[in-house]
Amino acid sequence: MPADHASRRAALRGLLAERGLDAMLVTDLLNIRYLTGFTGSNAALLVSTDEDADESRTLICTDGRYLSQVAEQVPDLRAEIARASAVHLVSAAGRGPNRSWGFESHIVTVDDRAEWDGLDAAVSFVAAPRLVEQLRMIKDEHEIDLLRQACGAADRALADLIDAGGLRPGRTEKEVARDLEWRMFEHGADGISFETIVAAGANSAVPHHRPTGAILASGDFVKFDFGAQVGGYHSDMTRTYILDRAADWQRDVYDVVLRAQRAGREALAPGIECAAVDAAARSVIAEAGHAELFLHGLGHGVGLEIHEAPGIGAAATGTLVAGAAVTVEPGVYFPGRGGVRIEDTLVVREQSPELLTLTAKTLTVV
């Protein structure tokens, strides 16, 4: 199923009309990709609110390197070619009667804005932050399919790594991380979502530990936090294993985190406050006496970015909506000793959340 970029632009026009804006100048490349399908490294997009059926007033601009690419990826919009793409659109399309344009004030620099003002174009710029991100929070079925593929590539890569004996004492964190990353590519990933976390022993107590030359040893917790990209969409999954033998304290803390993660997953539903989802998982950890060892929020949205709206944490605002893709990732970390995090990527649905990361979560001693 192809992406319906025209419908996405139509949804943006609805938001612009609500704010009394004549157009939106989009300069964030991920938002341009979402609205048009264009994947080049330089572009600007002008979405006009007052449009006819053929979107003749909506323009994309990029530079000469992407002349063929923009024609192929965005055949339904008129493309203009200029190195300074945003400046070109302001200069060329902004003349005439005074017009009110929204712009991505959370992206545009002070210097860029000053340059636009200096062009003497008949445009009044109005801050319109995160309007496209608001649309991106609700995934369509095309996006969800790409997320499934990304999660599947990560699931299969981890299974391959373990089946091949790649998780064993004597290897380093870096060796295991690079091994896992290559296997994601073998299973269809276009890229990795972020630098893969492999954290062994005491390092597993560091939430975002970067792999080192530390050697995996018998009795270690080994925490994997990793993801694959497919079609620009990211997966995100964390699993924690134990090498050779498990101590009682490791079994206990793993059970607490597993129950907390289940509570967080089960709390996902349209209309539920994001902070309430966090509380559902956090209360399990607090009741076990480890409240101070859960050091971060429960989760976040995931899509074209690895971290996007909505945030799920104790201080989060807003409610979940159907179609949001989110993570649920509680953790308990004992400094200098070890820690556990379990994370899934899921889609909020009307009936029950759809689980996209399918690797088993039962305590596994490798």
Does the pLDDT value for residue 52 go beyond 80? no
**Residue 108 in this model has a pLDDT that exceeds 80:** yes
323-343 per-position pLDDT tens digit? 999 999 999 999 999 999 999
pTM for the model stands at 0.95
> Which residue pairs, CB below 8 angstroms and at least 24 apart, start in 268-272?
268/320, 268/326, 268/328, 268/346, 268/348, 268/353, 269/320, 269/348, 269/352, 269/353, 270/319, 270/320, 270/321, 270/322, 270/348, 270/350, 271/319, 271/320, 272/319, 272/320
Given a cut of 60, whether residue 95 has pLDDT beyond it is: no
**Phi, then psi, of 241 in degrees rounded to 5:** -120, 170
Q: What is the mean pLDDT of the chain?
A: 96
Which pLDDT value is given to residue 123? Answer: 87
Tens digit of pLDDT for each residue in 123-141?
A: 889 999 999 999 999 999 9
Q: Which tens digit of pLDDT belongs to each residue from 151-202? A: 999 999 999 999 999 999 999 999 999 999 999 999 999 999 999 999 999 9
What letters, b where the CB count within 10 A reaches 16 and e where it falls short, cover 163-202? eeebbeeebbbebbbebbbebbeebebbebbeebbbbbbb
